[in-house]
Structure 1
Amino acid sequence: MEPFNIKIGYGEKEVTLTILPTDEAYYKVIYYGAILGAIRYQADDSWELVPEEEIIAGDLPMYVHDLKADRLDVVLNDTVVDEIGEEIEIILKLND
């Protein structure tokens, strides 16, 4: 599957993220050209954050949080992971 973009609400803003499917059964979440993290689908119909040490970065750097940058500082907490997962599910259903 090819990479695709999703939009999620983040506070009062909207953030565009690139989702990169992998052969390792998880999805890399790309933000500003770097890996913000990765999520995977669980058998109990939920999404979980993949531990950073399990993520195979490849050619992309890991995202470095910068509170002084001119962009939202997105953090992958449970709520954000669930929202990203819901958007991935919508894309997967559209591509069936």
Structure 2
Amino acid sequence: QSSLVHIALACEGVSSKDEKGVLTSLLLNEVMGKGPNIKWSAGSNRLQRAAQAVADGPCLVSSFNLHYTESGLFGVHIMCNNNDTHKVVKAVWNECS
């Protein structure tokens, strides 16, 4: 049995019809950390750094950004050790605030 947990924190994003909103959310996704640029690496985005600063075990954090016709979805995917869940989620939440 794995001790790793997956957590998604998400909110409503922008519609693909909103060109300025799409560009803004794409920029935010880049700034927050869309994931590693090197395959299988942990990356070093700001969300990842915030999580690793408080985690005792391995963790991986990346933002995601989806655009649909009527709405969108913007959020963060967290994978961490079960024992680190509260600390990591709090650190990532604070970084997003």
Q: Report the structure number with the largest CA radius of gyration.
A: 2
TM-score with structure 1 setting the length: 0.29
**RCO higher in structure (CA 8 A, sep ≥6):** 2
The structure richer in strand per residue is: 1
The structure richer in helix per residue is: 2
